[in-house]
């Protein structure tokens, strides 16, 4: 007879969401820098909102638009954290899993989400690609970190 794996504690998925939101916040900080120095022209969350919700973004007072973009990005980051939290612990526990996950999210956006939304194909410079790669590596690193790993994993017999 096969033994059922221990259920994931209810606390681990909210923590995974929180790490995703915090990772998106960290990305926002890095993007503030990369746009200020001219490496990134327009951040992807802004382009997505302009395309997916054009009426809302046009109606939004221009000084409030960055707040809406950030909230949408943090929400997307939280969902990404949740998805990472649902991966098997054997994968999540690897030191490379978070950064690889961050790159995978970037690749999924570029190859699937952006074309599905009809975002115009752009040819970012090498510097812009590196900046976007760096912020997704940062996101993945935050998502893959677990400050309380003993509380995020199922208890093992004998613990």
What pLDDT is recorded for position 46?
Answer: 79
What whole-number distance in Å separates Cα of residue 61 and Cα of residue 57? Answer: 8
What whole-number distance in Å separates Cα of residue 84 and Cα of residue 16? Answer: 7
Nearest to 54 by CA among 117, 122, 121: 117
Question: What are the average pLDDT values for consecutive 10-residue runs of the chain, which has 159 residues?
Answer: 49 88 95 91 79 78 85 94 93 92 92 82 79 94 75 48
Give residue 23's region: left, alpha or beta (phi > 0; psi -120 to 50): alpha
pTM attached to this predicted model: 0.79
């Amino acid at each position: 007879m096969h033994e059922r794996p221990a259920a994931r504690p209810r606390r681990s998925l909210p923590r995974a969401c929180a790490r995703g939101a915090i990772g998106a916040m960290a990305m926002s900080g890095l993007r503030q820098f990369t746009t200020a120095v001219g490496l990134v022209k327009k951040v992807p969350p802004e382009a997505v909102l302009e395309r997916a919700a054009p009426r809302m973004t046009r109606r939004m007072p221009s000084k409030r638009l960055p707040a809406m973009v950030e909230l949408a990005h943090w929400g997307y980051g939280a969902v990404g954290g949740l998805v990472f939290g649902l991966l098997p612990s054997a994968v999540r526990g690897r030191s490379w899993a978070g950064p690889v996950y961050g790159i995978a999210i970037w690749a999924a956006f570029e190859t699937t989400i952006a074309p599905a939304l009809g975002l115009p194909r752009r040819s970012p410079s090498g510097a812009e690609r590196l900046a976007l790669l760096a912020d997704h590596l940062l996101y993945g690193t935050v998502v893959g970190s677990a400050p309380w790993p003993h509380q995020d994993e199922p208890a093992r017999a004998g613990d």
